Amino acid sequence: MKPAPFMLALLSLVSVALQAAPEERPNLLLIIADDLGLQLGCYGDHTVPTPNIDRIAREGVMFTRGYVTAASCSPSRGTIFTGLYPHQHGMFGLSHRDWSTRFEHRIHDGIPLLPNTLKDLGYRTAIFGKQHYAPAEAFDWDMAQENPRHLVQRDVALMAESVGQFIGQPDGSPFFVVASYVDPHRFGNVFTPYQRLGLPTDPLASGDVSPLPNIGLDSARIREDSAGYFNMVKRLDHGIGLLLDTLEENNALDNTLILFVSDNGPDFIRLKKSAYEDGVRTPYLIRWPGHAMPGLIRDEYVSTVDIFSTLVSAATGELKPHGAGQPLQPLLTPSQIIWRDSMMTEFIVHAPSQYYPSYSLSITGYQLIHNLDAGRRNPVTMETRFPEWQAAQTPENADNPFALAYQHYDSPPTYELYNTEEDPYLLNDLAADPNYADLLAWMKGRLLQWREETRDPFLDPIFHARMQDRYRDATPNLTKSN
């Protein structure tokens, strides 16, 4: 999306004030959690203590409306490293196994990549932990380490040790490091075992927690999953503490911009693998001494599409938009500026068997969902073995509003409209209510405008049909009539 003229003028003025000499360039640390929602102390959830992530918020800026572009790992990470929406960068779904070639889940050739751009600017670049993008060979890292201990053992101590070894060998150049944790991602379909390598040291049991409020149903299995999720959040926070200690030990904490995000929301029904608010709204923190005001809370809409612009602008000292994003530096102080008033996200496909393209538009108080393939069941629910979906099928939950919302998600209409202030868990679809006809029409038009401005290929019926053909053998119930 092209920035508005007022935004270009503002960025031009601010860039003059923020010119930085080469020796003043900050180190850059991008921390990516995996499937983490707003279940953190700094966001008001105190189920488990998260003192280290809370420290980043306390010593920096916390954004209350931080969004990913897609609630799926690879498409979301593609945005982080390109500054583009998935329908622009091309990595529509998961990139591992043979899916990056068989289903073309890969970033288009020729798109500028964040590590390559920063390396060209003189940064030493490294990524540790989960990568989950393709083509991997297009990324020009000085070091790329995806150790099984990161992925399977969830070894947060190894993460801190690896980062420390990399930044502890300075050559006069600043560093760009990505610490990409796997917590709190499920182990397959479950959140057990509750400990890995002895962490967390005091794991919660299923009887210690209530289900996440946006699940809305209760059972022994749901509580097991909820406890497992929060144990992973505890381990993640412990790892962040080790990472901050590593920066301090290397005298790098005060001259490093730390940006903390998640790739999408928690892996529960209607969260991850959807376009609903709690799937695409995630933590978003920036700590940057001397630039980001400690304790500042901003309510503007920000997105992972802005990360590329923000980090490159920090590296150059000149604020410039890139791709579909904007640099966030104007929001790091209490200044009053005109900013975007809405947020768009999308979900195209996760695994190839879960092709169900949809888009969302969020404005203050409302969210619109557009399901391109309404008329067939959602394959995400058709495949799931999650206990909340199983609980929704039981007779005792037949009239439960959350169970009814799960059924709605299973076979949704073309458009869904929710009042996010009065109905934060999106249980009451207002799209068919005549009292909201004008709002629905306006939001539909605004969403279409964004898709046109960003050149969404799914607006082309031929492209849409070709994508259906691509996934026909993998996705259940995808027939030529769809």
Q: Is residue 124 part of a domain?
A: yes
Query: For position 372, which CATH number holds?
Result: 3.30.1120
Q: Is residue 479 part of a domain?
A: no
Strands 27-33 and 124-129: unpaired
pLDDT in the model for residue 473? 86
Q: Is 304 in the same domain as 232?
A: yes
Say what the pTM is.
0.94
Q: What local confidence, expressed as pLDDT, does residue 20 receive?
A: 44
181 within a domain of the structure (yes/no): yes
Any domain includes 160:
yes
**324 lies in which domain range?**
27-336
Query: Do 351 and 331 share a structural domain?
Result: no
**Per-residue tens of pLDDT for the chain, all 482 residues:** 344 433 443 444 344 334 344 447 999 999 999 999 999 999 999 999 999 999 999 999 999 999 999 999 999 999 999 999 999 999 999 998 889 889 899 999 999 999 999 999 999 999 999 999 999 999 999 999 998 998 899 999 999 999 999 999 878 899 999 999 999 999 988 898 999 999 999 999 999 999 999 999 999 999 999 999 999 999 999 999 999 999 999 999 999 999 999 999 999 999 999 999 999 999 999 999 999 999 999 999 999 999 999 999 999 999 999 999 999 999 999 999 999 999 999 999 999 999 999 999 999 999 999 999 999 999 998 878 899 999 999 999 999 999 999 999 999 999 999 999 999 999 999 999 999 999 999 999 999 999 999 999 999 999 999 999 999 888 877 764 44
Closest CA to 57 of 216, 283, 311, 277: 283
Residue 285 domain-assigned?
yes
Contact 325, 312 (CB under 8 A): no
- Number of independent structural domains in the chain: 2
Long-range contacts of 420-425 (CB under 8 A, 24+ apart): 420/277, 420/362, 420/365, 420/366, 420/367, 421/365, 424/277, 425/213, 425/214, 425/216, 425/278
At 169, which amino acid appears? Q
> Does residue 6 form part of some domain?
no
Do 225 and 301 lie in a common domain?
yes
Domain assignment present for 279: yes
Last residue within a domain, chosen from 282, 317, 336: 336
257 with 361, same domain: the answer is no
Same domain, 266 and 377: no
**pLDDT score recorded for residue 182:** 97
Domain end position, chosen among 336, 353, 377: 336
CA distance 176 to 251: 15
Residue 249 shares a structural domain with residue 287: yes
- Which CATH number is 195's domain given? 3.40.720.10
281 and 380 belong to one structural domain: no
Do 151 and 179 reside in the same domain of the chain? yes
The token pair at 387 is 């206990």
User: pLDDT at position 2, please?
Assistant: 40
What's the pLDDT at 96?
86
Same domain (yes/no): 358, 403? yes
158 and 86 co-located in one domain: yes
Task: For residue 13, tell me if it sits in a domain.
Answer: no
Query: pLDDT at position 330, please?
Result: 97
Q: Of 281, 312, 336, which one is at a domain's C-terminal end?
A: 336
- Is the domain of 104 the same as that of 44? yes
329 with 368, same domain: the answer is no
